Structure 1
Amino acid sequence: MRRIFVALFGAGIVSLGIFWWLTVAAVIPEAALPAWKPDPANGLAVFNAAGCASCHAVPGQPDRTKLGGGLAIPSPFGTFYAPNISPDPADGIGRWSEADFVSAVTKGTSPARTHYFPAFPYTSYQHAKIEDVRDLFAWLKTLPPVAGKVRDHEVVFPFDIRRNLGIWKLLFMDGKPFRPDDARSVQWNRGAYLVNALGHCAECHSPRNALGGIIAAQRFAGGPNPEGEGWVPNITQKWLGDWSEKDIAYFLETGQMPDGDMAGGSMARVTRNTSQLNADDRAAIAAYLKSLPPVEGPRPPARKNG
């Protein structure tokens, strides 16, 4: 029995060590960032494409640049609260280094070297160009600081153990930068980058498994709203087949659908961002979405009469 106990204890220690090693939060060190002259104008374009204001602008006021956070984001795992990303030195990111910011956006790692919850869509942002992320940081630093700490997330056990997210990332992050497809046009590749990296469209428009990871075979095929109410539409040609590229680009500019209906809910916040993009970028997104083959997604629940 003693030998069995010693063996089990040793195996437990080894297993814990392996777990600890596998779940170390990845960072990008300052030394890995070459000399760079930031372009704040591009940073603004990245801000709009990435939809930062949708979550991080202070709720209930119209200024998209007051990034004090506080928006509640419900999920099956609990409620997350978007943090303050204004340049406030105490409550925001005013004391962050550029490497801190790049690590947060592309690796989902905090300056304290802990894992961020994937309510922050770093699973898509991991594909962003480092230059774009650096320009975004430069632009954010030009904004007014907003004081105020955001409340802690309300996440149920065991999902509140951040160290476990190291395993989650191994399962659902590939760490690969965006690679253009040489067989496609410049416009298509620009649209693919905006949709899959900065725009993180798949984060809402794809069904998820029990662990909260996107089901790859049904990417963009819609599903239950991650926030708990309603249904997010399929944006492959299964549902968008009757929309032209001009229809999609016009929707991204105005929020108006071909039938005259307007975007609502969280999509209204999205179109407020995409309306700020230039026409070429909206056209690129439209061209990419029209190229997606039809994919059958989960079926929305039948509407109740009356």
Structure 2
Amino acid sequence: MTKSGIIGGILAALCVGGAAGAFAVAWRPAIAAIDPPKPQSFDTSLVKRGRELAAIGNCGDCHTARGGKSFAGGVPVPTPFGTIFSTNVTPDPETGIGRWSEAAFRRAMRSGVDRDGQHLYPTFPYDHFTNVSDEDDAALYAFLMTREPVRAPARQNQLAFPLDHRVLVAGWKLLFLHRGTYRPDSTKSAEWNRGAYLVEGLAHCGACHTPRNALGAERTSASFAGGDVDNWHAYPINAQSPSPVPWNKEALFAYLRDGSHPDHGTARGPMAQVVGNLSEVAASDVQAIASYMADMFGAPTPDRKRQGEAALAQAKSAPAPASRANAPGGSIYAAACATCHESGRPPPYGGINLGLSTAIAGPDPRNLANIVLSGVRSVEGERSPIMPGFAASMSDAQVAALLNFLRSRFSNQPPWAGVERTVEEARRADTTFLQTLAGPRHAAAEASQRDKP
């Protein structure tokens, strides 16, 4: 599931035509309940594989509320149509999926229909999960059915009429749910095809990094062209990327595996959760994802390559003189930022080179505002980047002045518009909990359950 998932609206339902026809499309039978299977009934290796797949799918973060029990649901997912809450996917027999058969689980993954026959809102990204294989669905099922059961009744979604009627989702599916869209490409390597399978399926990268239409579905004509999630901008991960230095396969692997790269900065916001999970899976799968995504970025044009080389050369030279037009922001930068960001020291005691920051070179200031206000918390037990937040010590006007200064000093892009309003919105959004990775990198979560059901 993705936090930026969007439900279809009533306009999609109107496309279903005729009451009888709509009922035929919308109705799905219930699948019989089962007695909760015993954890010992699942093969240990299958459970272990399911754990890695759940990490690739970011399942734990989307189904674990802040301060709540693992996989017990309750995470609010804001959409333009209202707020939807993630569900309990622990094996609790009453409030979770304990009485779901593997067939019921697979139907939810492929068709977005729960055991009782109700349509699921596509904040659960079954438009991607429909590409997951039977074998991987079985491993995910084994993993979830061996978690600790948690009694956690579903929270009531906050949707206005008629969007609170799930029958309308059937119309959305007619328009936008296309099964079996993943096809291996025989002209590509096995690694590339593995990456394509993961990116287009379980990892559902496009759910955040692809813009959506008025009905909340991904615009397939603009795949990976950038999207919005939880008051963050998910940058384009194709040739439209605003990164000062072009991405390549090696940089993508390091960033996805370690959460940072010297030429591209540190993963923050929802992406911090993603790389925190990817750090726990087989390196070969991360390498495959990097291989496929490098192909989506494409080889840089000669001009793009020269721009990247110039950015790297400038990053190694002395900082450019501060612009007098941004004197207030320059003073704030000198007092609060320069000590770390111009020290030349590696993390965690030195800051990234701001001349290589995509947040500063990006199309809007949202991500940079979030970082300045909330900071960057370290990963426990690791030499990871760290930065204090300035929400308590800077006013909105001061943060806006700093952002304007950083834009003019460390990028060759035009000034942003509406910076103060963006800062106000970022302060209200409270993105602090997304400012850190999910846990120590390269260490399996739930170690006590890692190798046994």
The normalised TM-score by structure 2 is 0.58
| d(CA) in 1 for partners of 2:262, 2:76 | 31
Look up the SS of the partner of 2:201 in the other structure. helix
Distance 1:280 1:215 in 2: 30
| Aligned match for 1:21, one of 21, 24, 39 | 24
- Counterpart among 107, 116, 121 of residue 117 in structure 1: 121
| Cα 1:215/1:177, change in 2 over 3 Å | closer
For 2:274, which of 246, 267, 270 is the aligned residue?
270
SS at match of 1:47: helix
CA separation of 1:299/1:158 partners in 2, compared to 1, >3 Å: closer, same or farther?
A: farther
Q: Which one of 159, 165, 172 corresponds to residue 169 of structure 2?
A: 165
Q: Which residue of 1 aligns with 2:350?
A: none
SS in 1 for 2:275: helix
Question: What is the CA RMSD across the aligned residues, in angstroms?
Answer: 2.6
Map of 2:394 onto structure 1: none
| Paired AA for residue 127 in structure 1 | N
| Corresponding residue number in structure 2 for 1:244 | 248
Which residue is 1:48 aligned to?
55
SS at match of 1:83: coil
2:188 to 169, 175, 184: 184
Once the two structures are superposed, residues 25-62 of structure 1 have per-residue CA deviations (whole angstroms, 9 ceiling, x without a partner) of: 488999xxxxx98822221221111111120123236x
Amino acid at match of 1:287: S
- The reply to whether residue 194 of structure 1 matches residue 214 of structure 2 is no
Deviations 1:91-147 (A, max 9, x none): 211111111111111110011101000000100000110110111101111111122
CA distance in 1, matches of 2:293, 2:271: 16
Alpha-carbon shift at residue 19 of structure 1 (Å): 1.4
CA contact (8 A) 1:59 1:69 kept: no
Question: Do the aligned partners of residues 69 and 278 (structure 1) sit closer, same or farther apart at CA in structure 2, a change above 3 Å counting?
Answer: same
Query: What are the equivalent positions in structure 2 for 1:80-95 lying under 5 Å apart?
Result: 80-95=84-99
Alignment counterpart, residue 285 of structure 2, candidates 281, 286, 290: 281
Per the alignment, in what secondary structure is the counterpart of residue 160 of structure 1? coil
Does the 8 Å CA contact 2:62/2:86 hold for their aligned counterparts? yes
**SS of structure 1 residue aligned to 2:240:** helix
Cα distance between partner residues in 1 of 2:263 and 2:160: 41
Q: Work out whether 1:230 is the aligned partner of 2:232.
A: yes
Contact 1:88-1:145 within 8 A present in 2 as well: yes
Confirm whether residue 204 of structure 1 aligns to residue 211 of structure 2. no
Q: Residue 26 of structure 2 aligns to which amino acid in structure 1?
A: T
- Alignment CA distance shift 1:183-1:29 (3 Å): farther
Higher CA-based Rg: 2
Structure 2: gaps (5+ residues) = 1-16, 34-41, 299-361, 366-415, 421-453
Say if 1:292 and 1:29 are closer, same or farther in 2 by CA, change over 3 A. farther
User: 2: distance between equivalents of 1:236 and 1:177?
Assistant: 20
Q: CA deviation at 1:221?
A: 0.5
1:109 corresponds to which letter in structure 2? Answer: V
**What TM-score results when the alignment is normalised by the length of structure 1?**
0.84
Alpha-carbon separation, structure 1, partners of 2:80 and 2:28: 24
Deviations 1:161-185 (A, max 9, x none): 2111111001111111632111110
Asked which structure has the greater RCO (Cα within 8 Å, sep 6+), the reply is: 1
CA distance in 2, matches of 1:27, 1:278: 37
